[in-house]
């Protein structure tokens, strides 16, 4: 499946706004919050985000499965996370496919 990304950061489409993972480092303890997306994605049976994956330096940290009816977000713990580590997130929408962002 082809991975989709936001093409123009200054002018995202509605589809891109709803599906781009937003990665946020919480404090300094290695907690990372990933939300989908810039505007919240629906979490209904007919249309929802199935899972979120977080990668550190291109290596998968973990895949978290999401539940219908709960927010489209997940918290990851990377105890030895360093400021220079590069984070990337992927998510899959049951209708709109695979998306990623850094």
Q: Using CB under 5 A, list all residues that contact Fe ion.
A: 93, 95-96
As given in the structure block, the two tokens for residue 27 are 């404090």
Give 6-67 as a DSSP string: -S-TTS--HHHHHH-EEEEEETTTTEEEEEETTTTPP-BTTB-EEEEEEEETTEEEEEEE--
- Nearest distance, CB of residue 10 and Fe ion, angstroms: 22
- Nearest distance, CB of residue 100 and Fe ion, angstroms: 14
- Indicate the residue whose CB is closest to Fe ion: 93
Cβ proximity to Fe ion: between 50 and 95 the closer is 95
- Nearest distance, CB of residue 49 and Fe ion, angstroms: 7
């Amino acid at each position: 499946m082809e991975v989709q990304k936001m093409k123009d950061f200054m002018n995202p489409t509605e589809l891109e706004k709803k599906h781009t993972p937003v990665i946020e480092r919480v404090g300094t303890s290695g907690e990372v919050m990933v939300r989908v997306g810039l505007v919240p994605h629906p979490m209904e049976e007919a249309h929802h985000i199935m899972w979120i994956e977080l990668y550190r330096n291109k290596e998968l940290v973990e895949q978290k499965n999401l539940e219908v009816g709960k927010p489209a977000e997940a918290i990851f713990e990377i105890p030895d996370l360093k400021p220079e580590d590069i984070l990337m997130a992927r998510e899959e929408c049951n209708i709109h496919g695979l998306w990623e962002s850094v």
